[in-house]
Amino acid sequence: MFDFDGRRILVTGGARGIGAATVLAFRERGARVAVGARSAASYGAFLARHGDRGIVPAVGEVRNRAAAHAVVAAAVDALGGLDVLVNSAGIFVEAPVAEVTQEAWDDSLAVNLAGTFFCSQAALPALRASGGNVINVASDAGLIGYPMGCVYSAAKGGVVNLTRAMAVELAPAVRVNCVCPGNVETDMIFAAAAASADPQAYLQSARERAYTRRMSQPAEIAAAILYLASREAANTTGIALPVDGGRLAGY
């Protein structure tokens, strides 16, 4: 099950967090993986931690059409094609409605939403040729609202409905799905906690939002991504799969 031997994968945001866990999970199952990283330094840090076996670089920003197309082209050239695109590049913006700046709004929509769309657009010819698929990393914040999270929710809600729209337009040639993680133990949430008034209370609240009373591990999100990318999910398209400890199940 979940055999990716010889398959060609691009994971944007692949140098850290959920993206890095996804790169490693694909590699362990025989895939060749292009690591999308914002900079050569972040790609180098990934290699220092995990090695370069089965890995090729796809370095660059994905915040606009030209940049996203360049990253995807680098991956397709290095891999000789593409079977799976995982759009995991993202940033977290947390601010009250009254204090959201133009820069924060623009950055969140550029990286989280525009990057997802334009990477998918760039990958489309290669994915049509291979009968491949796209998995977008959205968020439970794209399905429900969070206080202080209006900008992030707007971007990730866009990713959820973008997933559905692309799925119906591109079927049956290319499947498109997304995962919607709740809180995940990555440096992103630890950075948000560190910027808060009470970091320990912030992290405890993040754990208690889930009915499992814990945050997810990056490898658990990667496992959901691998399922959606796999041949076992060949008749699954257009879904938004929560991995949130039951948060969306009820109050």
State pLDDT tens for residues 83-116.
999 999 999 999 999 999 999 999 999 999 999 9
Q: Tell me how crowded residue 131 is: count the other CB atoms within 10 A of its CB.
A: 12
The C-alpha atoms of residue 116 and residue 211 are separated, in whole angstroms, by 30
Q: Which of 70, 153, 167 is nearest to 119 (CA)?
A: 70
pTM, 2 dp: 0.96
DSSP 192-227: HHHTSS-HHHHHHHHHHTSTTSSPBPHHHHHHHHHH
If DSSP codes are grouped into helix, strand and coil, which group holds residue 57? strand
- The pLDDT of residue 1 is 72
Architecture per CATH, 8-181+217-242? 3-Layer(aba) Sandwich (3.40)
Residues with a known catalytic role: 152
Which residue carries 């030209």 as its tokens? 66
- The pLDDT of residue 250 is 85
Residues in the chain, pLDDT under 70: none
Percent of the chain past pLDDT 90, that is, above it, reads 96
Q: Where do the CATH 3.40.50.720 domains begin and end in the chain?
A: 8-181+217-242
Reported residue count of the chain is 251
